[in-house]
């Protein structure tokens, strides 16, 4: 029997959109595995709060306010990680937004905002991380958070589905391009996961009943379900895995 004990000691991770929800759970889980964590969010107070929670538990964390749509802010964040935490070994691209609106009613600016944060932001952060990893010459791990909506549709979410589907194929391409540098690029596609932002939606009984009837494991996801996989993909145990997107959805996409 193999005992799986994951330690990320000596590694520095950046988690975008980590001020709440899934990103917060991932940041805490990486820190619990002894990684030093940069907690990114556009909300400084949220990032600072999560960092404080990690440090209270004996971890090492630094808050960083940066908009993933802005290259200069991303570069500054990575420079801080290298300067204060000793490098960048893991990136988790979690920052994202959702727009629920009929496709025929989506405004151009609304479409651009979803694509820019979800897809462009993922690329810009991955590109910046890869440059740092290539320069260091020791490889690294990039984990992109997609969604079941990158593979299947549940209207009205046209912009969101497009952005998350783009992340899945972007993950494949970056994995192929950067494999020669020892950089593994993988994705996680969460299913219906209860967070601070979604719990009101899921508390509506018709919504909850519809989802549970459709999920083979008959429960909604928890942020920790996603975080556990992120820790594995950030670790040496996943060294021979790249270009994959793993669905953490209770079986939603198999039906």
Distance from C-alpha of 68 to C-alpha of 151, rounded to nearest angstrom: 24
Choose, from 160, 201, 240, 247, the residue flagged as catalytic. 160
In the chain, how long is the greatest CA-to-CA distance? 56
User: Distances in Å between the alpha carbon of 209 and those of 19, 203, 218, 254?
Assistant: 29, 10, 10, 19
- Which residue, 117, 254, 139, 133, is CA-closest to 189? 254
Pairwise CA distance, residues 227 & 245, whole Å: 14
- SS3 of residue 27 by DSSP: helix
Rounded Cα distance, 195 and 151, in Å: 21
247 has catalytic annotation? no
Q: How many CA atoms lie within 13 A of 169 on its CB side?
A: 7
User: What is the phi/psi pair of residue 220, to 5°?
Assistant: -80, 160
Element counts in the chain: helices (H) and strands (E): 9, 7
What amino acid positions are annotated as catalytic residues? 160
């Amino acid at each position: 029997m193999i005992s799986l004990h994951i330690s990320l000691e000596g590694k520095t991770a950046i988690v975008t959109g980590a001020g709440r929800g899934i990103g917060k759970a991932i940041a805490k889980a990486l820190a619990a595995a002894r990684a030093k964590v940069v907690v990114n969010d556009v909300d400084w107070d949220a990032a600072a709060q999560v960092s404080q929670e990690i440090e209270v538990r004996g971890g090492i964390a630094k808050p960083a306010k940066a908009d993933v749509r802005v290259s200069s802010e991303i570069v500054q964040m990575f420079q801080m990680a290298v300067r204060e935490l000793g490098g960048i070994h893991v990136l988790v691209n979690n920052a994202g937004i959702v727009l629920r609106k009929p496709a025929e009613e989506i405004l151009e600016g609304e479409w651009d905002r979803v694509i820019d944060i979800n897809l462009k932001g993922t690329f810009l952060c991955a590109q910046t991380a890869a440059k740092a990893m290539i320069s260091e010459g020791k490889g690294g791990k990039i984990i992109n958070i997609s969604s079941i909506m990158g593979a299947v549709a549940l209207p009205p979410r046209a912009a969101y589905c497009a952005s998350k589907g783009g992340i899945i194929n972007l993950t494949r391409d970056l994995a192929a391009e950067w494999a020669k540098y020892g950089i593994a690029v993988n994705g996680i596609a969460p299913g219906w996961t209860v967070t601070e932002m979604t719990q009101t939606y899921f508390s509506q009984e018709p919504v909850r009943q519809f989802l549970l009837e459709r999920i083979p494991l008959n429960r909604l996801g928890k942020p920790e379900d996603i975080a556990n996989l992120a820790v594995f993909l950030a670790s040496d145990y996943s060294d021979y895995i790249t270009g994959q997107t793993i669905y953490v959805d209770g079986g939603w996409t198999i039906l």
